[in-house]
Amino acid sequence: MNSWKTPSLAKTGDARSSGEPPQRVRRPRGLVSEIVENLAASIRTGQMKPGEKLPTEAEIMARFDVSRTVVRESLSRLQASGLVETRHGIGTFVLPPQEAGNFKITAEDFATVADVISVLELRISLETEAAGLAAQRRTPENLVALEAALHAFHDSISRDSDAVPPDFQFHMEVARATGNRHFADLMTYLGTMIIPRTRVNTAHSAPEGRLNYLQRVNSEHESIFIAIRDQDAEAARAAMRTHLSNSRERLRRGSNAHTTQPQAGPAETPEPGSIGVNTLA
């Protein structure tokens, strides 16, 4: 069996000034989602390929320190999503991508700046309401996870990183804080490619420079966090709408930037009219 790698999303936890690495936050109702997100990401990114056998229940239990019941519910969700199938007495296997007329957003749907803006418009409607629900329903554990994502974003800025993983993680934690698994499931499905910086060179082409650009994004995240922390649903909606709308406007202003398609090999040249590397909101 091929080695199983966990996607390198920012881990949640209590980010303290002591410099200690954040510890995983145990969310009893979120354990299933955590496993589903990890396995789904491994499948969709190609780390686990069609026909490959998933780790055994015992291996997943040990990896995530969860019960057999949690593992079985996670596998059931993956089956319901059409990602895997269980062959009784043999194991659970990755299925080929579904080609039916189901809703899907693929890398090809991010070929141009206009495509990225279209997805942002979808996110504005969905994530604005998610932020409002998160403000109404967030738990102390949700706040710890959100704050950890903010700290990770801040740390990434100083390391000359594009801060994509902690950016995505922050939006994922907002979705989780809604208490409605469908928001988190949708974010898991879309993955980090919904972040414009993975498709458009907005950070390095920003007039104010990469550092100021990312600091502004981080400040917008902080406004969302404060509203959710204070359980102000309207302020949370407004902050999220402002954040994503600002991202859309930044893309429109820089529409002469170029995106890049996932490269099959080194040093491929982008097609004319496509968007160049590297740059959610």
Q: What domains does the chain contain, in order, with CATH numbers?
A: 28-94 (1.10.10.10), 107-253 (1.20.120.530)
CA–CA distance, 26 with 61 (Å, rounded to integer): 14
Measured between alpha carbons, how far is 22 from 25 in angstroms, rounded to an integer? Answer: 9
Which regions in the chain score pLDDT beneath 50?
1-3, 5-29, 100, 256-279
C-beta separation of 64 from 73 below 8 A = no
What is the pTM assigned to this prediction?
0.57
**What are the distances in angstroms from CA 80 to CA 73, 83, 90, 156?**
10, 8, 19, 36
Q: 214: number of CA atoms within 13 Å, CB side?
A: 24
* Residue 68 in tokens: 């057999």
What digits encode the pLDDT tens for the residues 58-109? 999 999 999 998 898 889 888 877 789 888 888 999 998 765 456 666 666 6
The pLDDT value given to residue 281: 58
Question: Do residues 53 and 86 make contact, with C-beta atoms less than 8 angstroms apart?
Answer: no
